């Protein structure tokens, strides 16, 4: 992972370099079959697909390599997928969808959730193994780290979550971060990318204030026959501030997919003047 270390200087100049390519949302969709089929790779067959969520909570993205380390695939959000592309111009991008939360996610945190987007289907694996590439991103970073606004997502295979951070915790705001405010220290910090406007950013051409490296969800030695998959993401604590999961197209497979490392697509050198620090108004939860 390429993390940007924070620094302080006495004389101020701001320089922003945009990347040659940027994340694109191609379309939003509520077509569960189209979503699931976009994810399936080698050695996997699917059936009984169902999607529950708002009309703009899910869709298809492309040109994500320079930001996410994933070129294209499916996005599921707790707000609007249209808000995902950069540049990051708001510290509080938020769309309240008004959909319910998800009981399985509630139990995982544990906490009440809202604005859930959920894709479910049955699948069979030729080899008995399963792998999946994804990136988790959120506007809750960094100022709501270690709060009740602990947005979360999971991949449940036969009811068991296989989407875990490197230390084995569920992937959520409070379990993958580098502190509040950003300090370079936190749970799974080596796998987190800071993009927060109030902590030196933006560094990446994406709206979200922080996101993970590419994580691989996997399970080995599944029994023969059909198994259930549930992909779910939701707001926690309230319905404000969007989070998203980016799922690599074709990576739902029985062989390990390639993993890339995100590189800064936007570099921002935010330096301090002799007059001191500039006070920035924090966003508020509704």
pLDDT greater than 60 at residue 86: yes
Q: Which residue has the higher pLDDT, 262 or 30?
A: 30
Q: Could you report the per-residue pLDDT of 213-256, keeping only the tens digit for each?
A: 999 999 999 999 999 999 999 999 999 999 999 999 999 998 88
pLDDT tier at 96, thresholds 50, 70, 90: confident
Query: pLDDT band at residue 266, thresholds of 50, 70 and 90?
Result: very low
pTM confidence score? 0.84
- Cα–Cα dist 237/113, whole Å: 6
Q: Which of 104-108, 237-241, 256-260 shows the lowest mean pLDDT across its residues?
A: 256-260
Q: How many CB atoms lie within 10 A of CB 228?
A: 13
pLDDT at 40: 94
Residue 2 lies in a domain: no
The share of the chain scoring above pLDDT 70, in percent, equals: 83
The secondary structure of residue 246, as a DSSP letter, is E
State the total domains in the chain: 1
| Stretch among 48-62, 87-101, 109-123, 176-190 having the lowest mean pLDDT | 87-101
pLDDT tens figures, 5-33 = 222 222 222 233 344 458 999 999 999 99
3-state SS assignment for residue 83: helix
| Alpha-carbon gap, residue 91 to 94, rounded angstroms | 9
What gap in Å lies between CA 21 and CA 102, rounded to an integer? Answer: 35
Of 116, 143, 132, 158, whose CA–CA distance to 216 is shortest?
132
Inform me whether the pLDDT recorded for 280 exceeds 50.
no
* pLDDT tens per residue, range 43-79: 999 999 999 999 999 999 999 999 999 999 999 999 9
Q: Is residue 1 part of a domain?
A: no
CA distances from 89 to 92, 192, 231 (A): 9, 20, 29
List, in order, residues 6 or more apart from 6 with CB less than 8 Å away. Answer: 182, 184, 199, 200
Within a domain: 286: no
In a domain, 126, yes or no: yes
Q: What are the distances in angstroms from CA 185 to CA 22, 112, 250, 261?
A: 28, 27, 34, 20
Mean pLDDT lowest for which of 13-17, 99-103, 104-108, 142-146?
Answer: 13-17
Tell me if residue 188 falls in helix, strand or coil: coil
Per-residue pLDDT at 10: 22
Does residue 4 belong to any structural domain of this protein? no
Is 5 part of a structural domain of the chain? no
**Structural domain boundaries, residue 219:** 16-87+94-268
The answer as to whether 279 is a domain residue is: no
In a domain, 186, yes or no: yes
């Amino acid at each position: 992972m390429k993390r940007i270390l924070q620094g302080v200087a006495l004389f101020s100049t701001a320089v922003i370099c945009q990347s040659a390519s940027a994340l694109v949302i191609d379309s939003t969709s509520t077509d569960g079959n189209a979503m699931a089929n976009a994810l399936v790779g080698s050695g996997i067959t699917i059936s009984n697909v169902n999607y529950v969520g708002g009309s703009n909570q899910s869709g298809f993205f492309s040109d994500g390599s320079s930001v996410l380390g994933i070129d294209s695939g499916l996005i599921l959000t707790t707000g609007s997928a249209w808000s995902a592309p950069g540049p990051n111009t708001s510290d509080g991008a938020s769309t309240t969808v008004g959909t319910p939360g998800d009981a399985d996610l509630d139990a995982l945190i544990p906490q009440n959730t809202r604005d859930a987007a959920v894709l479910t289907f049955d699948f069979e694996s030729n080899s008995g193994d399963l792998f999946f590439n994804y990136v988790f991103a959120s506007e809750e970073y960094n100022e709501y780290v270690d709060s009740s606004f602990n947005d979360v997502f999971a991949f449940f295979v036969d009811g068991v979550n296989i989407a875990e951070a490197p230390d084995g915790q569920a992937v959520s705001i409070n379990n993958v971060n580098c502190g509040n405010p950003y300090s370079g220290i936190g749970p799974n910090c080596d796998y987190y990318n800071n993009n927060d406007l109030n902590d030196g950013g933006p560094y990446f051409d994406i709206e979200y204030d922080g996101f993970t490296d590419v994580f691989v969800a996997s399970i080995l030695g599944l029994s023969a026959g059909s198994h259930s998959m549930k992909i779910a993401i939701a707001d926690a604590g309230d319905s404000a501030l969007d989070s998203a999961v980016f799922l690599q197209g074709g990576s739902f497979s029985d062989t390990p997919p390639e993993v890339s490392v995100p590189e800064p697509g936007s570099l921002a050198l935010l330096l301090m003047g002799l007059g001191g620090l500039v006070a920035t108004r924090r966003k508020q939860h509704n």
